[in-house]
Amino acid sequence: MKKKQYYLLLMIISIFMTGTIYLSSRMPNHIQKYTPFQSPQIRKLPILGSDALGRDYMPRLQTAIVTSLKISFFSLTCTFILSLALAISVSHMPTVISQSILYLLRILFIIPSILLASSLLQSTKLRHLTMIITLILALLYPLVHMMHALLESQKKESYWLVSKSLGGSHWLFTKKHQFPYLLWHSIPIAFSRFPRLLVLESTLSFLGIGIQEPSISLGLLLQQSLPYAQSHSYLFYIPAFSFISLLFLLQWLGLYIPALMKQVTE
């Protein structure tokens, strides 16, 4: 009797061990990591809506404004520095050489910027560099001509004649008289040309020979929004209104800065 109970207990233990080993072999040998509970996220609706592809319109508009302003301002800065150097250098040259340089710059200015941008784009394939070079050449002659006229009028001032009669090097005249004189009078005039560069950059991008995808500018945004002007009018009116408002603001600043500097001198 005891022997049967012993065998029965041994069979139960063996069945239990076999089942335990079988179940343990079927279980994974690592601890599963369960993702914590996340609260449902509420989707924020775009402030200005979305474009035809479903993209938020506000970031694209901000990027377009920043890109257009950045390219125009960088081109204006480079043009101003180059014009300053050319105007001062031309003022110390003989009349024949100075007039030849001004005539060459005038020829570059007369060449249509659209054709120039097209040729540069076909040869370099660098749209940002093409745009900057085009804007510089479009504004170089007016600034150099303006600075050259300022320096010629400065030579008629009494302090200039006295300093010239006392003698001295060209570098001393440039450092002491020409450079401060040009900075004070030409910075407001150069900044007043800022809206023209913005218009030219936007026009070239709108025509497809300026800034293109994956970059974005105001002109390109207007060009992409033009097919939806009737079905989704806000896609066209928002960048158009932003462009016009930006032009009015820059034009107002271009008129306000000279008036402010005139009040300071008085």
36/87 Cα distance (integer angstroms): 69
- Number of separate domains in the chain: 1
| Stated length of the chain | 266
The model's confidence at residue 15, banded by pLDDT at 50, 70 and 90, is: low
Per-residue model confidence as pLDDT tens digits over 224-237: 877 776 767 777 78
Per-residue model confidence as pLDDT tens digits over 105-152: 887 776 666 666 667 666 667 777 878 888 888 888 888 888 888 888
109/144 Cα distance (integer angstroms): 11
The residue among 245 and 8 whose pLDDT is bigger is: 245
Q: What pLDDT sits at residue 55? A: 65
The residue among 47 and 138 whose pLDDT is bigger is: 138
Q: What pLDDT sits at residue 211? A: 75
Angle at 254 between CA 251 and CA 257, to 5 degrees: 145
92/95 Cα distance (integer angstroms): 9
In the chain, % of residues over pLDDT 70: 64
Q: What pLDDT sits at residue 6? A: 46
CATH number for 136: 1.10.3720.10
CA 139 to chain centre: 18
**Mean pLDDT, residues 153-162 taken together:** 70
In this structure, is residue 52 part of a structural domain?
no
Name the residue among 152, 140, 77, 86 with its Cα closest to residue 110.
140
Q: What pLDDT sits at residue 159? A: 64
User: What is the domain extent for residue 63?
Assistant: 57-265
Q: What pLDDT sits at residue 139? A: 86
Q: What pLDDT sits at residue 131? A: 82
- In this structure, what DSSP letter does residue 94 have? -
The residue among 243 and 77 whose pLDDT is bigger is: 77
Per-residue model confidence as pLDDT tens digits over 169-197: 667 777 777 788 888 888 888 888 888 88
The model's confidence at residue 89, banded by pLDDT at 50, 70 and 90, is: confident
In a 13 Å sphere around the CA of 70, the CA atoms on its Cβ side amount to: 12
Longest dimension (CA), the chain: 140
* Reported pTM: 0.71
In this structure, is residue 121 part of a structural domain?
yes
223 residue type, one letter:
Q
Name the residue among 35, 43, 150 with its Cα closest to residue 90.
150
**Mean pLDDT, residues 186-213 taken together:** 83
Q: What pLDDT sits at residue 21? A: 47
In this structure, is residue 156 part of a structural domain?
yes
Q: What pLDDT sits at residue 188? A: 84
In this structure, is residue 213 part of a structural domain?
yes
Q: What are phi and psi of 56, to 5 degrees?
A: -60, 130
Per-residue model confidence as pLDDT tens digits over 212-221: 777 788 888 8
12/9 Cα distance (integer angstroms): 5
* CA-based R_g, the chain, Å: 36
In this structure, is residue 9 part of a structural domain?
no
**pLDDT, the chain, mean:** 73
